[in-house]
Amino acid sequence: MNDWTDITLQINSSDVDTVTAIAQMCMPGGIYIEDYSDFDTDIQQFGPVEIIDEDLLKKAQDKEHATVHLYISPEEDPEESLSFLAERLTACDVAYTVLSGIVKEEDWANNWKQYFKPLPVGEKLLIVPSWEEEIPEGLEDRTHLEIDPGMAFGSGQHETTKLCLEMVEKCVTPGSSVLDVGTGSGILAIGALLLGAKEAVGIDIDKLSVKIAGENAALNGVSDRFRAVCGDLATGISGKFELVCANIVADIILRLLPDVGPLMTDDGDLIVSGIIEERKQDVLDGLAEYGFEPIDILQDRGWCCMRAKKK
Q: Which of 228, 220, 156 is nearest to 193 (CA)?
A: 220
The answer to whether 265 and 242 have CB atoms below 8 angstroms apart is yes
- Residue 136's SS3 state is coil
Q: Where are the beta strands (DSSP E) in the chain?
A: 3-12, 31-35, 65-72, 96-104, 119-121, 125-129, 143-147, 177-181, 199-204, 226-230, 241-247, 264-276, 292-300, 303-310
Q: How confident is the model at residue 44, as a pLDDT?
A: 44
Average pLDDT over residues 260-280: 94
pLDDT one-digit tens code per residue, 169-185: 999 999 999 999 999 88
Q: How many CB atoms lie within 10 A of CB 117?
A: 13
pLDDT one-digit tens code per residue, 279-307: 999 999 999 999 999 999 999 878 899 99
pLDDT one-digit tens code per residue, 126-143: 999 888 878 888 888 999
Q: Distance (Å, rounded) from C-alpha 139 to C-alpha 124? A: 10
The pLDDT of residue 269 is above 90: yes
- For 117, half-sphere exposure in the C-beta direction (CA atoms, 13 angstrom radius) is 6
- Homologous superfamily of the 153-310 domain (CATH): Vaccinia Virus protein VP39 (3.40.50.150)
Q: How confident is the model at residue 171, as a pLDDT?
A: 94
Using CA atoms in the order 119, 131, 164, 278, what is the torsion angle rounded to 10 degrees?
90
Q: Distance (Å, rounded) from C-alpha 10 to C-alpha 68? A: 7
DSSP of 156-203, one letter per residue?
S-SHHHHHHHHHHHHH--TT-EEEEET-TTSHHHHHHHHTT-SEEEEE
Q: How many CB atoms lie within 10 A of CB 148?
A: 16
pTM, two decimals, is 0.68
Q: Which residues of 67-77 are buried (b: 16+ CB within 10 A; e: fewer)?
A: bbbbbbbeebe
pLDDT band at 58 (very low <50, low <70, confident <90, very high): low
Pick from 42-46, 117-121, 202-206: least confident: 42-46
Q: How many CB atoms lie within 10 A of CB 217?
A: 22
Q: Which fold has domain 3-103?
A: Alpha-Beta Plaits (3.30.70)
For the chain, give every domain's residue range.
3-103, 153-310
Burial of 99 (0-12, 13-18, 19+ CB in 10 A): exposed
The answer to whether 213 and 148 have CB atoms below 8 angstroms apart is no
Average pLDDT over residues 50-61: 49
